[in-house]
Structure 1
Amino acid sequence: MPATPLYSLVISPTGDGLVLTLDGQVLAYGADPGELRAAGRDKLIILAALAGRPIRARATEPDSPAPWWMIVTPDGGVHDVPSHPAPPLPPPRPAAPPSVPPHAGPPEVHRETWAFLWAAHAAGDLPTGVRHAHRLEVELETAHGPRHPYTITALTARAWLTLCQRTDPAATADLLITTALRRWLRSREVAALDQQFGQQSAILSAADAHEK
């Protein structure tokens, strides 16, 4: 399983007791470390269930300065592990980012968003680029449908930017499959229209020849 995301569960002393935080956000206050520890595990199980896969976490307490590592599964399993793997290296920055988008892009009314997402890509701000691409995809799908070339172009851009992030392999794989499926369905629709047009042209040509 991937090294990231890694959740940080911390129990630390306060003025009159203990506080439990997850990634810096307060979850609970109390005096019993065991109760806070259980509350933290419950929250991690919920996060694993929402993610649909096991997640990694690091826990620290005031009486145990050395952290311990765990893997939490959606079915409620909490498994201690001896260490945490090193996170993957960030993807290399392109030597010369493209100055223009690699596709023709959407209609004029959406060109500003299209320019923003590729400007974010050129600046290395991939999360912002993905957000712009997703917003553009939703707007185009609402206006033109999921299989329109405009929508598929925005979906392809989002898939490419998500792939460049390399943060969630499972979600990226699902997105790439969706992109490929929509492209395939669109190609079949175009082929069917071409075939229909060819048949109609043949019928008209035969009718013209008959009249002559």
Structure 2
Amino acid sequence: MPVVTDHDAVPLTPVYTIVISENDEASVDGHPVDKLPGQDARAAALANIQERAARLDRPVRVTAKEPDGSSWPLIVDYDGEVTPLDHPHPAPPTPPAARPAPEQPPAPAAPVHLPPPTGEPVIPGPARAAGDVDWMAPLPPEYQEMLDAVKAAEQAGNLAAAEVAAQDLEDALEDAFGPAHPYTVNVVAVRASFAVRRAAWAIGLELHMRAAWLRHDQQAPREETLRLARNAHFCWKHLVAPSRKHPGTHNQAEAQRRVQDLLRMLRHVGVEPIIIATTEEWAAKLLPVAS
């Protein structure tokens, strides 16, 4: 793809901020960026921005800050093309002051749902599925006690116990409705989120892949399916590379063992090509490291 020439056509927001430190570490909007073995900080940060651009399906604005204090406005596209600008990014227009909303009667209580996944790369999905399958329907009342056990453990901060309780709930739903029913698959997604929060990357990878594949085959709301697929990629990257936030949780042998399963799922679901390409690139560098 050629360099972006129509700068004004690129939306003014978001503007991502890359910071490169003197010890060759990178962050995007304050969040550390993991590097491939042998990869420098700038390349890792730009790969992170490429994925963000791919999810938006358009170029994005970036401010890159160097260790010497210099700052560079850039436009980055999903194919990695970087366009330097000779002027700062324009400030977005100030939105007009909102008028106070008229007082409304309290909304009726919403039905009880499973706790939503809360891993780091969360992107909310649409509320309802097309057709006659409602992926947001609450569980039947006879499963409420088991659901309450999941919520109680999660609210107490005991994620391991919450995951066990969710496994019990999943088993009961699978026996009653089958492994591909929305009730069952939604609980698989909840278990996946607990695994991510515990930095149990191999478990999170397996559960996210399973949930994404099953949802895709049933034409569930696509944005949530893509979120699960992206989160599987997120878990796999943490198996590949040591994480400053979760030291000692990577496992390159397991990453090498599961990479073809991950790639099959990513292609099956149809995630952004840059995510597939990034996985292939990491896998190619992983093979000699793990051998």
Q: Establish whether TM, by shorter chain, passes 0.5.
A: no
Q: Which has the higher contact order (CA 8 A, sep 6+)?
A: 2
Q: If you compute each CA radius of gyration, which structure gives the higher value, 1 or 2?
A: 1
Taking structure 1 as the reference length, the TM-score comes to 0.44
Higher strand share: 1
User: TM-score if structure 2 supplies the norm length?
Assistant: 0.33
